[in-house]
Structure 1
């Protein structure tokens, strides 16, 4: 079994319906930090467990989508999701979102997530382009994406406005697979 930087054993695997509750908890926790997500805490409705299970099942049923989780010592600590585009002219592409519990950042989970997702995308003949957006202030994530072969393809200037009035650009990145 592979190990992260802190010698914790980990597994990268496809999501299961049983992961729904822990994924909701991780999502709420990461959003509550308020640093690098578009959504803010007060906008997050309490998603019922059955709705999260429906979302997971729809991803499992779609050959152009995936949801991969990371387990450390048997506990789910993060996820990476690829959602496809429904329009015909965009059907070869999709977007990525990733979250990792705060306690488990900086040990290689993001990189392992991306390797798993990119491996899946490379094997999927319907996927040609993996896209994402990242806050320009999230230099750690941008560095990881570049290390994994993503290119900056654009920037939406002052796309996000924080509570303190500060603006942040949305850096658009992609990788062709």
Structure 2
């Protein structure tokens, strides 16, 4: 269920009945985004970014990125909040050259204790709605590790299809994972 308010704040109900607020991120959210990212990456074997990667990030660089997102109509970052707590985020950027500017890719993180409650679905539905209302964006793309079956199921349920693979696209301590390339035309 989704309710759209006039201020571009989207309200969903999670599987456990909690209200999930999804809204576009602002520069003043930078510190919360950084804190949430470091927590979301704990016990997150399917994420490409690691906790060590986040340790090198600074609040001012995230503020700069968010400012750039707000200035570019083809970039967006949404955050999800439950009871005022930032529990997830999704960001999207389109291609930076004219011939690929009709498409872009997203990345999403959810705090571990909020996974499997519909937060990812809420963020992704908000992104898809945004993309459908953006005259430039025609295709939303993603890469997902082959063993991330829950995410693949969610993406397929929302209309994404597999369009290719990057063999051994991810190197892990115990071996390799193919990256499945998925897309949705909006």
TM-score using structure 2 length: 0.90
Q: What corresponds to 2:28 in structure 1?
A: 18
Q: What corresponds to 2:108 in structure 1?
A: 98
- Structure 1, residues 21-80: CA drift from partner, whole Å, max 9, x if none? 111112222334350122333344431211110011101110001101111112211111
Q: Which of the two has greater strand per residue? A: 2
Task: Go from structure 1 to structure 2 and tell me whether the alpha carbon gap of 1:128 and 1:74 turns closer, same or farther (over 3 Å shift).
Answer: same
Q: What corresponds to 1:172 in structure 2?
A: 181
Give the distance between the partners of 1:7 and 1:41, measured in 2 at CA: 30
TM-score using structure 1 length: 0.94
Q: What corresponds to 1:142 in structure 2?
A: 152
- Structure 1, residues 61-120: CA drift from partner, whole Å, max 9, x if none? 100011011111122111111111111110101001000111111110111111100000
**SS of residue paired to 1:107:** coil
- Structure 1, residues 133-162: CA drift from partner, whole Å, max 9, x if none? 001110000000000000000011111111
Task: Go from structure 1 to structure 2 and tell me whether the alpha carbon gap of 1:113 and 1:43 turns closer, same or farther (over 3 Å shift).
Answer: closer
Task: Go from structure 1 to structure 2 and tell me whether the alpha carbon gap of 1:112 and 1:43 turns closer, same or farther (over 3 Å shift).
Answer: closer
- Segments of 5+ residues of structure 2 without an aligned counterpart are 1-10
Q: Which moved more, 1:20-29 or 1:36-45?
A: 36-45
Moved over 6 A (4+): none
The total of aligned residue pairs comes to: 176
- Whether 2:5 is the aligned partner of 1:5: answer no
Map 1:5-84; keep pairs closer than 5 Å: 5-84=15-94
Alignment equivalent of 2:164, drawn from 150, 154, 158: 154
- Segments of 5+ residues of structure 1 without an aligned counterpart are none
Give the distance between the partners of 1:40 and 1:157, measured in 2 at CA: 21
